[in-house]
Copies of this chain bind each other. A is one copy, B any other.
């Protein structure tokens, strides 16, 4: 299971930041940040974007991962989760199409 938190942790380590340094850079408490990377607390989208910039990483991919994780969190124990996703997708496509016109 590759969560956004773990991805961000990898990126941080590759970028050579300690937890503390990164936390200071994005102006957040170290304790929370530690918990976020390990999935114990949720990221906000803003934080994900800040970190993507700090690590010079692909922010789009990270945001997509962040969002899908949020969605999955709501549907994980739902019998009809997959069906719900498909309906949602259909409606989102329709909406997008309408906006493009």
Contact = CB atoms under 8 A, between A and B. Distances in A.
Interface of A: 60, 63-65, 67-68, 70-72, 74-76, 78, 80-89, 91-93, 95-96
Contact of A82 (B70, B84, B87, B89): B89
B86 A89 contact: yes
22 contacts: A63-B80, A63-B84, A64-B80, A64-B84, A64-B87, A65-B87, A67-B78, A67-B80, A67-B81, A71-B71, A71-B75, A71-B84, A71-B85, A72-B91, A72-B92, A76-B95, A81-B92, A82-B93, A82-B96, A85-B85, A85-B89, A89-B89
Q: Is the interface of A mostly helix, strand, loop or mixed?
A: helix
